[in-house]
Structure 1
Amino acid sequence: MGPMWKNENEMFALMKEKLYTPVVGDILDVMGFTHQFMPPYIRPLQNDMKLAGKACTVLEHDVFGPQKKPFGLLTEALDQLQKNEIFVATGAHNSALWGELLTAT
């Protein structure tokens, strides 16, 4: 018996329909991947929101003084996002990673 999906769109739709946080955590634990969840204070805007896709991970860092490219490679990373990819960023300490300018980009 093959997979229950024909393409990534179907696979991610099936994940959003069938999977839930505790079962994903149990599977990751069995696979040896512990501590794989975001902290509890990172929550969806509404309780019924679900997200499934491939992570596009970005590491941010603090910079000081004028820069040739004020946003570094951040806008390029956003431009390279593909369908079914989720932008996941971490690293900067002194400022928000996302704001009005990136929303308008």
Structure 2
Amino acid sequence: MATGTDILDTIRTRLFTAVLGDVMDTRGLTRQFLPPAIRPIDPDTAPARVMAGRAMPVLEADCCGDVEWRGAGPGGGPGSGQGGGNPFPFGLMLRALDELQRDEVYVCTGGSPRYALWGELMSTRARALGAAGAVVDGFHRDTLGIRKLGFPVYSHGSYAQDQRMRGRVIDFRCPIEFGNGVRIDPGDVVVADIDGVVVVPADHAADIVALALEKVEGEESVRQMIERGERTEDIFGKTGIM
């Protein structure tokens, strides 16, 4: 099975979240879907192809006021050994955004639903860097501007309240965990479509994609059996697919 960008291309063109989730269930990876409240920015016009990329996890935290954190100099700051002080009221958010790489997905959790975690200018920067999309465990804003950009964003919905003075990024490229127990590590494969967002652990990605391709082929055979008028109970007995 191909690796790297070939895996992402295969997912984008031939697979979808449901089949990946089904295959992971059979391999004991049963808690891989993010909360169902996380949806595409506009379900009615979601792209036909799925969004897929490597996770750049981002950890948010609530705060109160526009107070800067001041580090202890080189090596003294938080954030994956980034070091130094932090002169920005958004914490490490701008640094995390600037360090997005091609085909990465900005995946953020940790704050409360009192403010937006993503917006149009962030989408503009992420798209310019070749990022695959953004998935936030909270709200986005600037909906019309993001729609015009066509940048894939998945969130709990739209809410215009700014995160400045209310939340800040405290770390990135670190393991994070969503409220439903789904863990995301840097480099995991994040796949999203109109049915939800699923995470494929990096160590299992090649095997899961290969098995998902087999399942898609099997489902096509089952569809043909149904169209021929066969009973679904009999079909499942023969194929184990439904």
TM-score where L is the length of structure 1: 0.78
How many pairs align? 101
Instruction: Assess if the C-alpha contact under 8 Å between 2:58 and 2:108 holds in 1.
Output: yes
State the Cα deviation string for residues 2-36 of structure 1 (Å, max 9, x = none): x2x4x633321111112122211122222322232
Residue in structure 2 matched with residue 60 of structure 1 by the alignment: 60
1: distance between equivalents of 2:124 and 2:51? 22
Change (3 A) 1:91 1:101: same
1: distance between equivalents of 2:11 and 2:39? 19
* Residue 117 (structure 2) aligned to one of 80, 97, 104: 97
Change (3 A) 1:11 1:37: same
2: distance between equivalents of 1:100 and 1:53? 20
Give 1:84 shift. Answer: 1.1
Instruction: Report SS of the residue matched to 1:61.
Output: strand
Residue in structure 2 matched with residue 19 of structure 1 by the alignment: 15
Instruction: Assess if the C-alpha contact under 8 Å between 2:60 and 2:109 holds in 1.
Output: yes
Instruction: Report SS of the residue matched to 2:25.
Output: helix
1: distance between equivalents of 2:121 and 2:101? 20
- Which 10-residue stretch deviates more, 84-93 or 24-33? 24-33
1: distance between equivalents of 2:90 and 2:121? 10
- Larger relative strand fraction: 2
Q: Radius of gyration: which is bigger?
A: 2
Instruction: Report SS of the residue matched to 2:20.
Output: helix
Give 1:100 shift. Answer: 4.7
Q: How large is the Cα RMSD of the aligned pairs?
A: 2.1
1: distance between equivalents of 2:17 and 2:124? 32
Structure 1: gaps spanning 5 or more residues? none
